[in-house]
Amino acid sequence: MPQTYKNSDFVLRINDDSPEILNVINKYDTYLASLCAGDYSFQIEAVKKVLRFLFSNNYKSIEDLARENYSGNDKLRQKFERVADYLTKLQLRDKKSCSLDLATGTGKSYVIYALAQICLAEGLVDKVLVLCPSLTIEEGLTEKFEELAGRSDLKKIIEELNSVYKNPSIKNSNNHVLDGDICVENIHAVYERTGSSIEDSFKGKGHRVLVINDEAHHIFSPSDTDTKKWLDFLRDEGYGFHYIVNLSGTPYTGDEYFYDIVYRFSIRDAINAGVVKKIDYKFEEGTQRDKGFQDSYKLHENNWKVYGRILKPLTIVVTEKIANCIKVWKELVDFIVEKKGIPFDEAKRKVIWVTSGVPGKDTRDGREIRKIIEHPEKIRKENLQLLKEVDDADNPVEWIVSVSMLTEGWDVKNVFQVVPHENRAFNSKLLIAQVLGRGLRIPYSLKDTNIPVLLKVNNHERWTTQIENLYRDVLEVENGLSWGYDPSRTRYTFPLYNLKYAPVQTTTETKNKPPSDPQSFGFGPQMKVYTTTDRFSESGEHSFEIWTKDNLDIESAASFLHMYLKMKDPAITNRWTPARIKEAFVNELKDKGYDYTFLSKENYINAQKSFGTLMRGLNEENPRLSQRSNDIEETKIEDMTMQTFNEGELKNDGMMFYDHDSLSWFKGDQMAVFSQLVTASRNYEKFCESFQMVGGNQDNLKYLKERITEVDITRFRTPLNIVYVTHEPERKFMKDLFSNIHLFDSFIKNPSRSFYSFPYSYKPETEAKTHVRQDNFNPDFFLKKGDDIIVLEIKKDDDDSKKNKAKYRDGSRHFEVLNKTLEVSGIPQRYYFIFLSPDDYVAFFQSVRDGSYKGWKSSLMNMLEE
């Protein structure tokens, strides 16, 4: 199994239990217990870990601590071949610097204040400088610190401990910072020399200053050019800073975790402790049709039903760029106008957009923005002020559209839905953690209720495998298992050959005689409204009634098409009058059993395209492009990308097959998860009895019996560690395959993405944004029988959709060309491509048994050829 790493593998251990250190750490127990009470007691451990490092004489810098951990941490040595490679990841390696990973909503400000006060009280430093990336965060920290500095219980404890500095004053750089003070400032003000006391207060005194950086991921972000000066400031020899502590709820540089973390309380830890909302993410979507904001709006309304009697729920929509943010804001306001039937000015009070800046008016994005709104910078600042009040019930804002990488601090608690509007807003661990962090805080009014506090994540676009895996990593999705190549099963590996494809001009068509009028418009099913169901990790199924957009009444559709044809070729409209077009529309829609009172946008486009050949001139050359194979390449099973699934997906429609040796492939947490599932499955009856004794519903455990199957080791003829399939046709096929496994040498389940695929083209059933769509086809199974490879695509009975017809057509052509190419190349392997459904499983295995599979066709294949 390839080496995998968890963020917790890289948290540094501090080995100093000397009496001097323990005295400092334990001395402030009463203070910390008063400051970090109840569910937030983990803050005490965070503070103590940092104090142990800062006060220890064993470590002169973070480099000393890193070297010690490298020697004793197997995962670090596996990740970095040389200690020198590891140390290059520490950008403040000569400083006594470290980082804390504290999820958003876990009270970082309390930890910062505790570290500042204790280091001053002990006399480790004379001043504390707290830096943050924005004025908004500065104001929030200042307000919190002033509140804590005024608490009489904390003052009394510090005074009784004979502290060097007892009662710190909270200042910013507008005032001279004296010994014993805590200065809170945003990093941009640090660069401003005019009116700032930073240089006078700290220059040459850095060795007696503790610098605490909030939202520290900005310091090390390569794309954050403005805050790059932050790192330069910390390194400035003129200041000579030595003690530095970084805090972040998203301690990533892109996808790479910080390597100087000394304490970690992750999003998953915070969820399990109940101090932040539980994340309710969408893992299955009923349709890939464009739903606009309709599903997000329905979920928003549902949140009103659940939480509305207590507070005002909010939804955040996240985009990648500022220009997109404002465009999406306009689209959302327009949607609310139409949905609620209210004026634009009323609707826009319900939606604000939030960015860290606005592109200049002479830039392309700046010009686009100013077409939508005037004076965007003025509105941006007004929105930032509104952001402070959006939790208030009398504030009209219900929706916030934001960019993902935002330097402004948020303290919004009433967020119950996050909508990543585009994949690029969610394509790194840093962005995912930041976006989720916007909605993690639990409102005080819900803390003592029995209402489940969930944050829905309703992704607007279908996520790629990469984003799914990043998302799982950040969330540490519980009970996850991986499947893929197992080196211990190498005897079952076999080579697979694929064709290399490249787009080429295959023909040049020349019309020598006038083409005939279209006999059909190619209309697909159309509905004004349809119902779709999505599945979420915590709340289960949600059904949405979706109204299709941009429909045309039949009269208008005929009129628009007539105008289109007249513009392209007036001669066509002599034959195709509006009346004839309307009649043809109605007749085809009636014949297909569709509503003939309107025409969908997709079908209108189909109608336009059906006249395409009429618009080509005689003797005019028209190039045709297609995907053509130009070589073969070997696809190695050993290179298969690891696939993942979790217990919830297994329970919903998955099924796992394993043998006695499967456990040895898993490592760490996955070994524990796999072992627990297998043990529960093997001891199902006993497990159910115990579950019922504590009030559990036995129906929730049926998947342990029905979806987890052990296979005899002699029948498990696959190079994969386990076999994971989804949906009933595949589940039934796998059972039958293992019963007939003696007919085959080996087999693999092909991942649905990122392994063996080839292009195919099809005309969509109901979507027609383009006339023909290109996609990749990933057949389900490869069965090896000698030099023959039987390629199977499993479908439900009678599934003769356009997509399947296209897959069958292009797949048959693919393997025909592949076989000819293999023959020319002297490679004995041959491929036999079969579409199969449950009705023909028995007949298929019989064809393998009697050797007739090479020319055998299933009932489904016959349907697909019609």
SS (H, E, C) 337-362: HHHHCCCHHHHHCCEEEECCCCCCCC
Question: Mean per-residue pLDDT for 487-497?
Answer: 96
**Pairwise pLDDT comparison (772 vs 553), residue with the higher score:** 553
Question: Mean per-residue pLDDT for 228-232?
Answer: 87
Question: Mean per-residue pLDDT for 498-519?
Answer: 64
Q: Which is nearest to 273 in space by CA: 56, 106, 452, 427?
A: 106
Element (H, E) at 777: strand 773-777
Q: What is the pLDDT of residue 843?
A: 93
- Strands 243-248 vs 209-213: parallel, antiparallel or unpaired: parallel
Asked if 494 and 784 touch (Cβ cutoff 8 Å), the reply is: yes
Please state which of the ranges 314-318, 666-670, 725-729, 810-814 shows the lowest mean pLDDT: 666-670
**Separation between Cα atoms, residue 472 and residue 281, nearest integer Å:** 10
Q: What is the pLDDT of residue 655?
A: 95
pLDDT at residue 769 is higher than 60: no
Q: What is the pLDDT of residue 508?
A: 52
pLDDT tier at 415 (50, 70, 90 boundaries)? Answer: very high
Asked if 416 and 313 touch (Cβ cutoff 8 Å), the reply is: yes
Give Cβ neighbours of residue 249 (< 8 Å, ≥ 6 apart).
101, 102, 103, 104, 105, 106, 108, 267, 433, 437
Q: What is the pLDDT of residue 621?
A: 55
Domains of the chain, by residue range, sit at 7-268, 277-482, 517-522+549-622, 633-659+711-865
195 by DSSP, 3-state: which?
A: coil
CATH for 277-482 is: 3.40.50.300
Q: What is the pLDDT of residue 105?
A: 85
SS (H, E, C) 690-743: HHHHCCCCHHHHHHHHHCEEECCCCCCCCCECCEEEECHHHHHHHHHHHHCHHH
Give Cβ neighbours of residue 23 (< 8 Å, ≥ 6 apart).
none
SS (H, E, C) 609-658: HHCHHHHCCCCCEEEEEEEEEEEEEEECHHHCCCEEEEHHHHHHCEEEEE
- Degrees, nearest 5: CA angle 561-566-568: 95
pLDDT tens for 237-281 read 999 999 999 999 889 887 889 999 999 998 888 887 888 888 888
Q: Which is nearest to 158 in space by CA: 110, 128, 122?
A: 122
Please report, for residues 6, 256, 421, 470, 670, the alpha-carbon distance to residue 425 in angstroms, rounded to integers and kept in the order given.
23, 17, 7, 13, 29
pTM for the whole thing?
Answer: 0.64
Asked if 123 and 48 touch (Cβ cutoff 8 Å), the reply is: no
Q: What is the pLDDT of residue 427?
A: 63
Asked if 855 and 790 touch (Cβ cutoff 8 Å), the reply is: no
pLDDT tens for 294-333 read 999 999 999 999 999 999 999 999 888 899 999 999 999 9
pLDDT tens for 161-179 read 989 999 899 999 888 999 9
Question: Mean per-residue pLDDT for 349-373?
Answer: 92
pLDDT at residue 472 is higher than 70: no
pLDDT tens for 813-858 read 999 999 999 999 999 999 999 999 999 999 999 999 999 999 999 9
**Pairwise pLDDT comparison (813 vs 505), residue with the higher score:** 813
Structure tokens at 59: 């470590």
Q: What is the mean pLDDT of the chain?
A: 87
Q: How many residues does the chain have?
A: 866
Please spell the DSSP secondary structure of 781-817, one letter per residue.
Answer: EEEEETTEEEEEEE--TT---HHHHHHHHHHHHHHHH
**Pairwise pLDDT comparison (137 vs 260), residue with the higher score:** 260
Q: What is the pLDDT of residue 860?
A: 93
Question: Mean per-residue pLDDT for 149-171?
Answer: 94
**Pairwise pLDDT comparison (785 vs 700), residue with the higher score:** 785
Burial class of residue 16 (count of CB atoms within 10 Å of its CB; 0-12, 13-18, 19+): middle
pLDDT tier at 518 (50, 70, 90 boundaries)? Answer: confident
**Separation between Cα atoms, residue 834 and residue 760, nearest integer Å:** 16
pLDDT tier at 2 (50, 70, 90 boundaries)? Answer: very low
Question: Mean per-residue pLDDT for 374-394?
Answer: 91
Q: What is the pLDDT of residue 708?
A: 95
**Pairwise pLDDT comparison (173 vs 783), residue with the higher score:** 783
Taking each helix axis as running N to C, give the angle between helix 108-121 and helix 135-149, from 0 to 180 degrees, rounded to the nearest 10: 60
Q: What is the pLDDT of residue 768?
A: 40
Q: What is the pLDDT of residue 767?
A: 44
Question: Mean per-residue pLDDT for 765-769?
Answer: 45
Share of the chain above pLDDT 90, in %: 55
Question: 304-317 in b/e burial notation, b at 16+ Cβ within 10 A?
Answer: eeebeeebbbbbbb
pLDDT at residue 620 is higher than 80: no
Element (H, E) at 676: helix 668-682
pLDDT tens for 645-667 read 877 778 878 999 999 999 999 88
Please state which of the ranges 111-120, 448-457, 777-786 shows the lowest mean pLDDT: 448-457
Asked if 811 and 777 touch (Cβ cutoff 8 Å), the reply is: yes
Q: Is the sign of the CA dihedral 256, 262, 268, 270 positive or negative?
A: negative
Q: Which is nearest to 65 in space by CA: 115, 112, 11, 108?
A: 11
Q: Which one-letter amino acid corresponds to residue 58? A: N
7-268 fold: Rossmann fold (3.40.50)
Q: What is the pLDDT of residue 220?
A: 85
Q: Which is nearest to 439 in space by CA: 300, 345, 619, 535?
A: 300
Structure tokens at 721: 């560690």
Burial class of residue 71 (count of CB atoms within 10 Å of its CB; 0-12, 13-18, 19+): exposed
Read off the DSSP letter of residue 750: P
pLDDT tens for 181-214 read 999 999 888 877 655 789 999 999 999 999 999 9
Question: Mean per-residue pLDDT for 478-505?
Answer: 83
Q: What is the pLDDT of residue 62?
A: 98
Q: What is the pLDDT of residue 475?
A: 64
Other Cβ atoms less than 10 A from the Cβ of 843: the count is: 14
Place of tokens 């860290």: 356
Q: Which is nearest to 471 in space by CA: 439, 440, 427, 406?
A: 427
**Separation between Cα atoms, residue 500 and residue 512, nearest integer Å:** 35
pLDDT at residue 505 is higher than 50: no
Q: What is the pLDDT of residue 146?
A: 96
pLDDT tens for 30-58 read 999 999 977 788 999 999 999 999 999 99
